[in-house]
Structure formats: structure tokens, C-alpha cells
Structure 1
């Protein structure tokens, strides 16, 4: 599998499938390129080129001690796009990957990007502040981070059922849930904590205000990781031209539980 090197010497892994108009998939916090296994075959079969990045500290990429902020994530994404000289891109970003995609557009412009899809993204700003009262109190986030650091495997295992909203009837096998927890645990523990904190403290509202390209926002009403009232619905208001979809029975893991519906919605967005 190919690698490329960014400015600080970090080697990043990526995957490249198919031919045609390029789609660049930006993975969630702690997940890597493998999370898109229900999307890539579908879009390759529909004539698209699918490019997937393992961000630093994730998957097969190097695990440096720095670079887990949104600016570096956006710059690493830009380096991949320039390395492959991709143009006419559709960015497809899940969860914290949405912040990197939004920051990429504000830092590097949309010259190479035609459209962007935010899936269960943690936009626009998670932290509660005086001008962002809808956010989450910092003390709550720090307590959550302390639990994560104390027993990382338990933290992910305890949240797995809610991640897929299995209580709403989503059919996810115990084996698949265990597999996804292992995939989350494959990320560097240092990167896991550093990115968790950075994503919480980063205000992406200015980035969203500058998005003028076609945008798709998809969010699950039952999302426990990125509550829709804090994230998806507010993102829709900040990007009023966006195509917006809510999935009533979806949690954060909608790329698995609602893969068929999600793929169809993204394909319709690509063709619109």
C-alpha cells in the first residue's frame, strides 16, 4: 500500500481504488481507511475513483507526537490531494473528519474541490462558550477524556451499542461491533487523546461560513457521539444552501447501519 511524506517527515498511508471522478474520504477520529468498506465498492462500481487517507496516528500511518490539530489535519489532506494531483474532488468526511474537510476548504480553497459531504460531523463547534451556549460544557468533556484515558477499551466498548443505535432495531452483529471497537483501539493512544481534545476546542464556524460549493449534510437523529442539536442541525443553518438529510433511526455509525441509504443519498448528490 502506498505512502507519501509530508513536510515534517511524517509518512502517511493512503489507498486508491477505481477510476473516474475522484472522491476523497476523510475518516473519523480513531478510525482509518477501513471504515469505508461499505462505501468504496459501491462508488467504484458506479464509476468513481475512491482515495482514502490514514491520518497521522491512525491506521498504517506514522505516529508522531504532534500534528493532531485541525490545521495540520487539513494540511496533511492537502498534501495527499497535491501528491496525487487530484481535481474535481468530492470530499466525503465523517465525524471529526468533517472539521478537517471544512478547515481544508478555508485554508487551501476550493480550486480542486467540486463538492463536500459532511456525515455525522462534529461541526460547527462543540464547546460551550458565551457565544456558543448550545455547546457542551468543558468540564463534561474533560471528565469524558479522563474516563477514556483510564480505560480506553472499556470506554469504546461501553459506547458501541449506542454508536450504532441498536436499541432502535439496527441490525449489527456482535462480531461487527467487536471488530469496530478493535479498529478504534488501533489508533495511537496519544493521538486518540490529543485529537479528542483538539476537536472539542476548535471553532469551525468561520470555516463553514466560507463554504460556497455544493454541500451535503447527513446526520442521525439518534447520534449519541455528535448530538444532532449541537451539530447537524446547526451545520445546516450555517450552510443554508446545503442539501440536508436526517435519518430518524441512525446513530453515529450510520456508514454501517444505513449504508444503502447513505450511499444512495451521496450518489444522488454527486449526480445533482
Structure 2
């Protein structure tokens, strides 16, 4: 039934009412957590259990790292993929905040709102930046979750800096052990593929950052795929917010870094999640090799799911993450 005067439908009003009711329950709960955290911080509480929101942290070489830090409880630290930012974890940040966790995510140097660095755009420095930030926030007993390039960052951080601070780790669609085809890694991706990425970024980054998420990243190039222009726009927005030099350099970091020793040296329980239709980081040369190197690893794969499954299938991934963290 249509109300001609107001141009609305009864169904629309019912839907709007239902949304309002849901928000009325959810938003106050989230706000209460934030208020509690802010109150403690204002009273002089240290940042090891109560977060204040977001901020900038300057690491030892002068680079400013943007981070979000919400809620209280056991910390979960999220590490984003290339060439994105901490905003790529929106669905996970809100979900785990509502479950009573403290959620933290940063923009890697050169990406998002962090300094557009010309140097230090390689995995050792990425991990060292995380180590400085974790020390600054006094983060311990944390679960570190990394997607794609962020999975490599997690592996290197946990192996080299995380002793005594990390409870568990998660690698999602992650680049370890090594993406590049070499004599020791014959199933890897040829160098000319990565050279093609560099060429696309250098010649017309804005066009490439439309094409990449429109196609293989989210599996939108598959027959019958439900394409979301909003998701594509958000990917483009995040990519264009970073610096081209750092993003160009990062291609070498995520493709050529060998994480074999890092994986062998991780002592904490590690969950490896991977989409079986991942066209960006093929599962056969990543997750299926990583699981053989981890001391305490668990592998879970998802038939038909793409590289960007944390966005396209967030409800499924969040549930599996929660089960692992609580186990």
C-alpha cells in the first residue's frame, strides 16, 4: 500500500522501524564500551586495558603511524592487505568490539592516513613499526590477525617481536611462505606478473585501483557473481588514500619476502584461513604450504570464496575467528 502524499510504502516504514529498533539496541552497547574506556583513560588509566579511540604514533625514524584502538578486554590486532588501510577491517572491528574485545588496527607506513614514506617500505620495517606500536600501547595476550600482505606482517612480527605479547595468530588469504616463483618455490607466481602490477600502479594507479577490485580481488569476475559497486568504491578510496611510492615498493615486500623461517619460529596457535577460489594468492602455494611449516597450525579453507572473503563473507569469517579465539 502506497501513501501518495508522502511517497512512502507501508513496507518501507516497517523496514525503517526494524532498523531503528536494531540500532537502538546495538549503538548504546557500543557507546557504553567506548565511554567506559574514555572515562578510565581520562582518570589516568594506562592504555593496557582501555582504549581511547584513534591517534597517531611516531616510530623511531619519524614516520607517523595512524591507528584505531577501541574498547577493552583481550586485544585483537588487525593487519590489512595491500594497498588498503585499517578501514578494510570495519566489519571485523565492529563485530569483535560488540563481543567485548579490545580491537586495534593501524595503517601500515605509506598506506591510509600514515606518513607517505619513501623509505622503509619492506617487511622488516613493517614488523618493527608494529612492535613499537604494541609497546607504546602496552599490548599483551593479543590475537594478531592479518590478511594478505598483513598476514606476512603478522608472521614476521610474531616470530621476531611477539614473544610474551602474543596469544594466538591468524593468517587469512596470506602471502607466506613466499609468493614469487623461485628454484625453491617452483609453484610460485612468475616475476613478470609482479612487474605488471608495478607497471599498472606507476602508469595509471587510479584506473588500476578500479579494475583490481572489480575483477579478481572479490571474485566479481566469476560467472553469476553479485557485484557491489560500493565495495569497489571503498577499495579504490582506501588505495588512493595511500602514497604511490610506498605502495609500489610494497609489491616487492609482499611478493619476494620469504617467510619460511618466520612460520617455523611461531610458537603460538595459528589459524590459517583461505578461500579456495583465491585468484590473488593461490591457495596451493600459500596456505597449503604454510600449514606444513607451522608448529601449532590449523587450516580451514572455503570452497568458492575469493581473496577478499573477509568483506564478501564477513559473517562466516567472523564466526570462525571468534570460535578460534575462544577455544
User: Shorter-chain TM-score: what band?
Assistant: over 0.9
How far off its partner does 1:153 sit? Answer: 2.1
TM-score (norm. length: structure 2):
0.80
* 2:113–2:242 CA contact under 8 A, matched in 1: no
TM-score (norm. length: structure 1):
0.95
Alignment of 1:234 with 2:282, yes or no, is no
Q: CA RMSD in A?
A: 1.5
How far off its partner does 1:240 sit? Answer: 5.6
Deviates more, 1:130-139 or 1:118-127: 130-139
1-structure distance, mates of 2:270, 2:160: 17
How far off its partner does 1:45 sit? Answer: 1.0
Partner of 2:115: 62
How far off its partner does 1:266 sit? Answer: 0.3
1:187-206 equivalences in 2 (<5 Å): 187-206=242-261
Partner of 1:268: 323
* 1:164–1:170 CA contact under 8 A, matched in 2: no
Deviates more, 1:64-73 or 1:130-139: 130-139
Alignment of 1:118 with 2:176, yes or no, is no
How far off its partner does 1:187 sit? Answer: 1.4
Change (3 A) 1:106 1:76: same
Alignment of 1:165 with 2:234, yes or no, is no
How far off its partner does 1:11 sit? Answer: 1.3
Residues 49-69 of structure 1, C-alpha deviations (whole Å, 9 max, x = no match): 001111111111111211111
How far off its partner does 1:36 sit? Answer: 0.8
Residues 201-260 of structure 1, C-alpha deviations (whole Å, 9 max, x = no match): 111111111112110111111111111112121112222631211111211111111100
2-structure distance, mates of 1:199, 1:255: 19
**2:106 pairs with one of 53, 56, 59:** 53
Residues 129-153 of structure 1, C-alpha deviations (whole Å, 9 max, x = no match): 1111111222332233212321212
**2:133 pairs with one of 77, 80, 83:** 80
1-structure distance, mates of 2:158, 2:92: 23
Partner of 2:82: 29
2-structure distance, mates of 1:73, 1:168: 37
Partner of 2:64: 11
Deviates more, 1:174-183 or 1:26-35: 174-183
Q: Which runs of 5+ in 2 are unaligned?
A: 1-53
2-structure distance, mates of 1:128, 1:176: 31
Tell me which protein shows more helix as a share of its residues: 2
Q: Indicate the structure whose relative CO is greater, using CA pairs within 8 Å and at least 6 residues apart.
A: 1
Work out which of the two has the higher radius of gyration on C-alpha atoms and give 1 or 2: 2
Partner of 2:198: 145
* Count of residues in correspondence between the two structures: 272
Deviates more, 1:131-140 or 1:168-177: 168-177
Deviates more, 1:112-121 or 1:232-241: 232-241
Alignment of 1:218 with 2:273, yes or no, is yes
Change (3 A) 1:92 1:168: farther
* 1:168–1:249 CA contact under 8 A, matched in 2: no
* 2:194–2:251 CA contact under 8 A, matched in 1: no
Moved over 4 A (4+): none
Alignment of 1:129 with 2:176, yes or no, is no
How far off its partner does 1:169 sit? Answer: 4.8
Q: Which runs of 5+ in 1 are unaligned?
A: none
